[in-house]
Amino acid sequence: MTALAPIPPKSSVDEQPRNRHYVARGRVSTIVTHLCVIIGVLLSIFPFYWLIVMSTSTTGEIFGYPPKLTFGSSFLENVRNVVSSVDLLQALVNTIIVSTLCAVLVMFFDSLAAFAFAKFDFPGRKWLFVLLIATMLVPGSLSLVPSFILMSALGWVGTLQALIVPGAANAFGIFLLRQMAAGSIPDELVESARIDGAGFFTTYWRVGVPLLRGGLAFLGIFTFIAAWNDYVWPLIVLVDPDRQTLQTSLQNLNSVYLTDYGMVMAGALISVIPLIGVFIIGSRHFIANIAAGAIKG
């Protein structure tokens, strides 16, 4: 007689379609997630693409209907018009100097203060930190007039020091790095450095800075971009035409009666390209430290 195959248990028979349902639903969820990410990326990239299109077109092509979504042939002409209208090279050098020094000074002073707030006990620490947080509630526009009076008293009006020194530290960076230092720097490590005879600055440099590299990378990028794009304060304090930053120089491309929007967009594209390079370079360290922290956790 032929042996009969064993009948599978009823529970395993019921679980097979259920497992297939879960797999199908997981695939649909993955596809939907990828579509949402792709749509978000396209929406984020489109303004930059549109900037490039306008910078390669004439004013008539920009305002044409239907809108032109392909690259034009007027980019070199627009760039020549920008160079002939403003001192682009000098403005670019001034902006690089101001943005770089502001980023370096903010990373140094903010991390120094944050390390002291997080890992050292001194009289009035809590009240000083509360006062620091309170300054974040004050709008920056309220400090324009007092800052200008102070710069005038120091004789810095029209100089790059008026942009660098006031931006050498900020409450946001101290708060950010203080929160990171409180959670990522073990107290035992600081105590061992003290036992070995390390002073405050040595402990900060050998213990604090290596463990705050991710936050420092973010703060450096954030500060560099903010200083690069700053417009109101340089417009107020830089009265010397030879010491204009990129944003104030590009503002001169706008005319009262007629504006060459192709030229303006070409200047805007030139001002954006260095920011993209800085973000790519700095984000590598930022993302690497985040990944390292996730693996350790």
Q: pLDDT, tens digit, for every residue of 59-82?
A: 788 887 787 788 878 888 888 888
Q: Which domains does the chain have, with CATH numbers?
A: 87-252 (1.10.3720.10)
Alpha carbons 48 and 41: distance in angstroms, whole number: 12
pLDDT category at 293 given cuts 50, 70, 90 is: very low
At 164-187, the pLDDT tens digits run: 998 888 889 999 999 888 888 888
Average pLDDT over residues 189-206: 86
Residue 99 makes CB contacts below 8 A (sequence gap 6+) with 223, 224, 227, 228
pLDDT at 292: 47
- Stretch (H or E) spanning 174: helix 171-184
Report pLDDT digits (tens) over 10-50. 555 555 666 666 667 777 788 888 899 999 988 988 888 88
Alpha carbon distances (Å) from 14 to 7, 8, 20, 52: 13, 10, 11, 58
CA 81 to chain centre: 30
- How far out from the chain centre does Cα 139 lie? 20
pLDDT of residue 81: 85
Over residues 131-158, the pLDDT tens digits come to: 988 888 888 788 888 889 999 999 888 8
Tens of pLDDT, residue by residue over 84-136, are 888 888 888 999 999 999 999 999 999 999 999 988 888 888 899 899 888 88
The CA-based angle 37-38-43, given to 5 degrees, is 100
CA distance 92 to 290: 32
Alpha-carbon distance of 210 to 185, in angstroms, equals: 10
Q: What is the pLDDT of residue 239?
A: 81
* Per-residue confidence band for 295, with pLDDT thresholds at 50, 70 and 90: very low
Structure tokens at 167: 């931006």
List the structure tokens of 73: 């042939």
What is the pTM assigned to this prediction?
0.80
In 240-264, which positions are buried (b, 16+ CB within 10 angstroms) versus exposed (e)? eeebbbbbbbbeebeeeeeebbbbb
End-to-end C-alpha distance for the chain, whole angstroms: 63
Mean pLDDT of the chain: 82
Task: Give ∠ CA 274-279-282 in degrees, rounded to 5.
Answer: 120
